């Protein structure tokens, strides 16, 4: 599936070279289909006991988001691949070092800060 290359590039950029990879796909078996994989989900084991996961689908509603989660916070980048529809910022949230969030949205820990950072604030383009 060609959509996964963006996700894999981001995983390697932020997490390093994967040590192990596991994945599951759904193969299109409809009459006349070419046997392509319209859906795939993967988990990567990375250095430092880190994990990365991604899923892609051609037959589900479109969603584009990159989320980096660590023990003290997270960074969320909406539409990281193409930056369409006026997307001009990303969110960084830091949590108190005494609290480790257990709820997926971090709502069980007090936030130290949430920052909106501009995307592309320099004059550089993605290709130079």
**Total number of domains constituting the chain:** 2
Average pLDDT across the chain, whole number = 75
pTM of the model: 0.65
pLDDT digits (tens, 9 = 90+) for 37-73: 888 899 999 999 999 999 988 888 888 888 888 877 7
Q: Are residues 52 and 110 in the same domain?
A: no
Token pair 């759904």 is found at: 26
CA–CA–CA angle 55, 85, 126 (5° rounding) = 75
Q: Are residues 48 and 105 in the same domain?
A: no
Torsions phi, psi of 13, nearest 5? Answer: -65, -45
Mean local confidence (pLDDT), 1-23: 87
Q: Are residues 127 and 84 in the same domain?
A: yes
Domain that holds residue 92: 64-128
Torsions phi, psi of 45, nearest 5? Answer: -90, 125
Torsions phi, psi of 81, nearest 5? Answer: -85, -40
């Amino acid at each position: 599936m060609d959509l996964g290359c963006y996700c894999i590039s981001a995983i390697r950029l932020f997490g390093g070279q994967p040590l192990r990879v596991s994945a599951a796909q759904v193969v299109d078996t409809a009459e006349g289909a070419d046997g392509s994989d319209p859906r795939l989900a993967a988990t990567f084991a990375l250095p430092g006991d880190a994990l990365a996961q991604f899923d892609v689908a051609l037959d589900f509603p479109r969603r584009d988001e990159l989320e980096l989660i660590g023990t003290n916070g997270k960074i969320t980048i909406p539409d990281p691949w193409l930056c369409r529809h006026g997307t001009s910022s990303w969110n960084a949230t830091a949590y108190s070092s005494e609290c480790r969030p257990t709820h997926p949205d971090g709502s069980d820990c007090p936030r130290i800060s949430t920052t909106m950072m501009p995307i592309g604030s320099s004059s550089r383009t993605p290709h130079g």
